[in-house]
Structure formats: structure tokens, C-alpha cells
Amino acid sequence: MMQRVVDNIIAVTKESVKTFTYESLNNIVRLINGVSALLLTFLPGKANILEGIHGWELRPTFRGPRFPRWMENGVSSFNHFIHELSVDSDSDGSSLDYPYGDEGSSDGDTSPGSPLSQSSRVSRASSFSRNDRHWMGWMWIRYIFFWILLPARFLLGIPVRIFQSSYSRSSNGSSAPGSSQVLQARAINKMQTLKDHIVHRTTDRRRGVIEDLHLAIEIFIEAIFDVVHKAAHFILSPSEAFKTLSGWYSLSSSGAQDSHDSDSEVSVPTATLGENDPAPKERNTSFQQSLNTDARTCQDVITELGYPYEAIHVITSDGYVLLLERLPRRDSRKAVYLQHGILDSSMGWVSNGVVGSPAFAAYDQGYDVFLGNFRGLVSREHVNKNISSRQYWQYSINEHATQDIPAMIEKIHQVKTAELKLSQPDLEEETNDEQPYKLCAICHSLGGAAILMYVVTQRIEERPHRLSRLVLLSPAGFHGDSSLMFTVVEHVFLLLAPILAPLVPGFYIPTRFFRMLLNKLARDFHNYPAVGGLVQTLMSYFVGGDSSNWVGVLGIPHYNMNDMPGVSFQVALHLAQMKRAGKFRMFDYGSASANMEVYGSTEPLDLGEYYGLIDVPVDLVAGRKDKVIRPSMVRKHYKLMNDAGVDVSYSEFEYAHLDFTFSHREELLAYVMSRLLLVEPSPNQQSSQKALRLKKKGQVNS
């Protein structure tokens, strides 16, 4: 009787504390969101800045279940959440079934489940015993606690062992002596099932900081009151406590090794689309990997959508290791090379899914697609594994144009030539006269400036650039016409450059914790529109009023806790130099002697004066809403090229700066594809392709 009264008191107190803390946190968040909304009403120009933010985001190709209803609806009931994890205790290896439609979604998004979630679906059990619920609840707390409150997990380790021992002893006392092995097998199956579910929730469902706080508070309170509950039971039942303590050591010695081995990783069956053998395979998934952040790579996005993928590691002449990613069409004689801009990666070309991404559109049109990645990752990929941060970040746009792009394009040339020779043996006669394939380049922002610098310098050095056409989306290079904010930043940056150069080699987030925090905050900005709108507006002010979705881009997976692109100090200095000079020129090393050693003159090379060397068609595209690189600056490229006799075209769209890559724009894709189709293969290539098709047709008929 006394034990039941104590249980009721503890249960009521626990739920009261959980409700109070949960609602307190909710009220704080509502207050922050409300204050943000109030501040947003006073900021000028917000209508234009926020016009395209709603509905724009990287749509994941798989989606886990929504956040538990007991958190979404404000009902503080951790026990209800545990009940939803019901598992058939008699099943050998079951996991949980989740509805993958996002209930209540305004846009009707019904993304399919991931291979991980699809391979782990089994029907639920209707209910389970009180002991099973306590066991499952405590195991959930124990293993999730490892993620969020590691110190508390250590302190609570002793009560965990006591409770496990108590459960084991009570089971042994109520069953036949020979049933201990069966119970142990069931316990192992339950543990494995729970771990599979934990891995699913930590990898397939991305949470923000606020959601993490909700879950952490709930788990912490549940753990504390569970300790109090067990302590009260031990006080009211001393004999049971003595039995538990006596059996603790035997249980710990028999199960410690197995528990330790299975804590770090779990083998789960997965299937990856685009592989030659799509059958499910076992792969190890670590609890420490994702921490509920979206850490998908470009490869993940491509393969999950069913496209082929190939990774090519390219080493530059100065030792940097670059990742050249590919959607291969090995027998295609038309290829396209896509190059990203500043603080970006190849993810930008695939981030809008099958319909809205340039990489997929080009592949569907029969192109062999190559996605370039500049140097400048936090992981510092280099042949010298011991390279220092200061040494790694010692590069400017010069190195992007004279090291990165040449290395990647030469690798493309080697790969394409070798593959075409294998698939088309009669190719030997053509290679002496001309390149056996046509390579076009689509570049955005800084990538556009780098590709122009590459073509000009290759022509000056009388080397082949191997390109047939350039499509440049808001290319950098000229920055004289910019906002007041950019002008102030330029003056301050150039003034402080001698002081900052030895102190700040690059601009990036150096630690995994803060990169994870950025990734999670991006989720919170989406969940709380007023806060997200305020941050979006302030960021837009900083970049001159550009209405790109600056908050949304923070949620792109290449900004994750494991790695992210950065900007070297010299790249930023190079952009400031070009803005100050009003010219598109190479990096100024700061002294006449240094420039003389590199360029053969006291001043850096003015690339605009050499536009007459460009011998391929160029398509320039500007955005009327682009405040980062304004249309007047793109028209300056056009005027110089046109005056120099370059085959150049100019187009404008109602876009902001990031809309060229991160936004779903069908009209832009149609325009870009139409420009690529202007590049026709040579007569020799056409006849060779026709012969190859006839040969394949003959093989099929035979």
C-alpha cells in the first residue's frame, strides 16, 4: 500500500515538473518569436527581401517521421512516447513502422522513406507488460542520454546497472531455471531493435536546437525521477535491494563486454539506388555520426534519386586534393563541367531535386556531367597530411583559375579520351585532328570569374583550354557598382588587411560543435518564421539588400558538422582589390617586386584587356534582383567582350544572386539547356556516333 502511494506521488510530481519545464521553454520560444515579429515590422524593405523565402528549401529525398506528437501538441508525456515504441517481445528481429507522409503538411509533400527506414518496417505489437515498458523506457533513456547528456549518463550509470540487475533477478525468480538463456536472448533482441530505431531517428530526422532542448529536458527529468523511484523502492523493500546489489556484479561481468561492443555502431541493411547491385547490404551506422543534422553529401543526393555517381580525386600541382564528382555517361561525346561560387560546393547543382537542378537536367539531355569543387574545405584535403591551417589557406582566386580548374579539366580530358577510345575503337584517327568530345562549362559567381581567368591565362600561355562554350551565371570580376555596405566592408578590410593577414588565414567555422549548431539553427529558423524572417532580413541588409534566401541556404547539407566550405583571406582580399581598382584583374601581391616575379610586370594582369583571346562563345546571365553582383557589372563583362569581338550574348532574369543555383527556376534551366544545345559535334563525331549506334543495334538484333 505504501509503495503504491509513493509511486503515485512520484508520477504526479514528475508529470508536473515535465509540464512546467516544457511549457516554460515553449513560452520563452514564443516570446522570442513574438519579439522578432515585432522588430520585423519596423525594418524597411522586408517585403522584397522575404518575398521568395516561403516554400524554398532543400527538399530531402527521404524523410523520417515528424517530431513526436507529445512534443508537437504541447502534451508533456514521455510515457506516451515510450508506449509508441511498443515492440513484440516474442519477435526475433523487429523494428518499427512509421507513416512517411508528413501529416498536416501544407504543400502535400510525401517524400518516400529512406533505404534505412524502408528496410526496418515491421508491424507494431498492441501492448506489452509493465516490466517491458520500464525496461524499454530505461534503455531508450540510457542510449539517447549518451548523445545529449554524456556527463549525466556517467553519473547515472550506477542506477542503470542496479535497475538492470533488478529486472534480471525478478525474471529469473518467476521462471524456470532453464529459461534464463531465453530471457537473455529476448533482451538482446529488444536492445538491437531499440538501437535500430534510435539510429533511424538520429539519422533520418533532423532536429533544431529547440527540439533538442525539448527532448533533452524530457529525458533528463525522466531519468532523475526514475532514480528517485528506484531509490524509494529500495528503501521500502530492503531485502529486494540486497538481492539486487548481490547480483549486480555477476550481471555486469557477463554483459559488460557485449554492451560495450554494441554501443558504438549498429549494422543496418541499406540499398543505394544507382549502384550496379541494388540489393540491400549491411553497413555500420555509428551513433556518433549525425547528431540529428543533415550531413548528406552530393553523392547521397545523386544516388538516392537513382542517378549514377562517380567520385574522382584530383591532385593539383601544388598538392591540393580536389573532389571532381560525376554523373557518368561514358560513351557520350558531349560533356558539361559545372563550377560553383564562393562558400558553395557541388551540392548547389543538385539541391533542387530531379526537376529543378542543372546537373540532372544536363544528364537527362544526354550529357556526361562533371561537378567541380574548389579547394577551401575545413577538412583541408592536401597531399601533405600535416599541412598547417596557415599554409593551407594561402591562395587567392589566381589558384582557383590556374591550379584547380586546369587540374580538373585535364582530368576530364584524360577520362573522356580513355573511355571513348575503349567504347569507340575507330577514335584513333580523330584524336590527331581534334578533341573527341565537346566540353561546355556552366559557372556561377566566383566560378564564372575563375573560368574566365582560366581561359585567358591558358590562351596567353598557348595551352588548350578544351572548352567549347561558357555559360556564366552572374559572374564575379567587376564590383565597382555595389551597395554602401560592400563599400564600407571593402575600405575597412583593405585598411586592416596588414593586421588581419597573419592572424586570420581563412574565414570558416573551425569546430564541429559550432558547425552542428549552425546546421540546427537553420532548422529553427525554418520552424519559427518570425525569427527566420528577422535573420533573413538582417543578412540581406549585410549583402546589400539581395533577396536570396540566405537563411535557407544555411540548411544545405554542405554546411554540416563534419565539413563545410570556407573562404581564404586572400580570396576575400582579391575581391576587395578588384572592387577598389574597378578592374577584373589578378591578385596584387602588394609590392612591385613580387608582382614582377609572378606576372613579369609591376602591376597584376588586367584580364579585361585580354578578352580578345577568348575563342569560344560566352553566354552571360544577370539577375535584376541581384544586389551582390549587379546587372551593370555583368554588362561590363559583355561590353568588353563584345568590343573585343567575342561571340557573346547577354540575358537578364528576375533573380537574386542565389536563385541561379539554389532555387527551382524552370525558365533558367530551359535557357541554359538551349545554350548547351548550340554546341554541335563535328561531322567526324556525328558519323562516329551514328556508326556506334548501328553497331549496338546490330549486337541487339543478333
**125: which residues sit within 8 A by CB, 6+ positions away?**
86, 87, 88, 89, 91
* CB half-sphere exposure, 195, CA atoms < 13 A: 22
- pLDDT of amino acid 40: 82
Say if CB 32 and CB 84 are below 8 A apart: no
Q: Distance from CA of residue 194 to its chain's centroid?
A: 27
- pLDDT of amino acid 280: 42
Helix axes 512-527, 529-542, angle to 10 degrees: 120
State the Cα–Cα distance between residues 437 and 336, nearest whole angstrom: 10
- 236 band by pLDDT with thresholds 50, 70 and 90: confident
- pLDDT of amino acid 201: 41
Helix axes 130-148, 209-236, angle to 10 degrees: 130
In this structure, the number of other CB atoms found within 10 A of the CB of residue 492 comes to 11
Decide if 415 is inside a domain. Answer: yes
Q: What is the mean pLDDT of residues 54-78?
A: 35
Decide if 263 is inside a domain. Answer: no
Residue with cell 533482451: 187
Which H/E stretch holds residue 311? strand 310-315
Q: Which amino acid, residue 81?
A: F
- 65 band by pLDDT with thresholds 50, 70 and 90: very low
Say if CB 293 and CB 561 are below 8 A apart: yes
What DSSP character marks residue 63? -
| Cα-based distances in Å from 27 to 40, 74, 139, 615, 657 | 20, 11, 31, 63, 37
Using alpha carbons, select from 100, 130, 127, 126 the residue that is nearest to residue 115: 100
Q: What is the pLDDT of the chain when averaged over all its residues?
A: 75
* CB half-sphere exposure, 247, CA atoms < 13 A: 18
- 418 band by pLDDT with thresholds 50, 70 and 90: very high
Is it the case that residue 668 has pLDDT exceeding 80?
yes
State the Cα–Cα distance between residues 223 and 142, nearest whole angstrom: 9
Q: Which amino acid, residue 638?
A: Y
Q: Which amino acid, residue 402?
A: T
Beta pairing partners, 326: 310, 370
DSSP letters, 323-347, are EEEEE--TT-SEEEEEE--TT--GG
Mean pLDDT is lowest, of 426-430, 587-591, 696-700, for 696-700
Is it the case that residue 284 has pLDDT exceeding 50?
no
Decide if 474 is inside a domain. Answer: yes
- 245 band by pLDDT with thresholds 50, 70 and 90: low
**44: which residues sit within 8 A by CB, 6+ positions away?**
none
- pLDDT of amino acid 8: 84
Strand 506-507 versus strand 469-473 pairing type: unpaired
The model carries a pTM of 0.71
- 78 band by pLDDT with thresholds 50, 70 and 90: very low
Which H/E stretch holds residue 397? helix 397-399
Decide if 267 is inside a domain. Answer: no
Our CA dihedral for 593, 595, 596, 600, rounded to 10 degrees, sits at 180
3-class DSSP state of 411: helix
At 289, list the grid cell: 555520426
Decide if 26 is inside a domain. Answer: no
Which tops the pLDDT comparison, 238 or 487?
Answer: 487
DSSP letters, 427-468, are GHHHHTTS-SSEEEEEEETHHHHHHHHHHHHHHHTT-----S
What DSSP character marks residue 120? T
Which tops the pLDDT comparison, 331 or 100?
Answer: 331
Is it the case that residue 191 has pLDDT exceeding 70?
no
At 437, list the grid cell: 568530345
Q: What is the mean pLDDT of residues 471-479?
A: 95
Handedness of CA 571, 573, 576, 577 (dihedral sign): negative
State the Cα–Cα distance between residues 402 and 133, nearest whole angstrom: 64
Burial class (CB in 10 A: 0-12, 13-18, 19+), 540: buried
Using alpha carbons, select from 351, 340, 364 the residue that is nearest to residue 300: 351
State the Cα–Cα distance between residues 380 and 393, nearest whole angstrom: 9
State the Cα–Cα distance between residues 374 and 447, nearest whole angstrom: 9
Q: What is the mean pLDDT of residues 576-594?
A: 94
Q: What is the mean pLDDT of residues 520-526?
A: 84
CATH number for the domain including 518? 3.40.50.1820
Highest mean pLDDT among 275-289, 345-359, 466-480: 466-480
- 233 band by pLDDT with thresholds 50, 70 and 90: confident
Is it the case that residue 168 has pLDDT exceeding 60?
no
3-class DSSP state of 507: strand
Q: Which domain holds residue 315?
A: 293-424+434-691
State the Cα–Cα distance between residues 510 and 557, nearest whole angstrom: 17
Provide the phi-psi class of 108: left if phi over 0, else alpha when psi is between -120 and 50, else beta: left
State the Cα–Cα distance between residues 180 and 169, nearest whole angstrom: 10
- 608-652 pLDDT, tens digit per residue, is 999 999 999 999 999 999 999 999 999 999 999 999 999 999 999
Say if CB 18 and CB 78 are below 8 A apart: yes
- pLDDT of amino acid 126: 36
**108: which residues sit within 8 A by CB, 6+ positions away?**
none
State the Cα–Cα distance between residues 666 and 651, nearest whole angstrom: 15
- pLDDT of amino acid 29: 87
At 571, list the grid cell: 580570396
State the Cα–Cα distance between residues 286 and 269, nearest whole angstrom: 14
At 220, list the grid cell: 533528463
**Largest separation between any pair of C-alpha atoms in the chain:** 97
Q: What share of the chain is helix, strand, coil (3-state, %, to 5)?
A: 55, 10, 35
Q: What is the mean pLDDT of residues 137-166?
A: 50
State the Cα–Cα distance between residues 536 and 623, nearest whole angstrom: 19
- pLDDT of amino acid 178: 47
State the Cα–Cα distance between residues 444 and 620, nearest whole angstrom: 10
Structural domain count of the chain:
1
State the Cα–Cα distance between residues 633 and 514, nearest whole angstrom: 36
Decide if 175 is inside a domain. Answer: no
Decide if 482 is inside a domain. Answer: yes
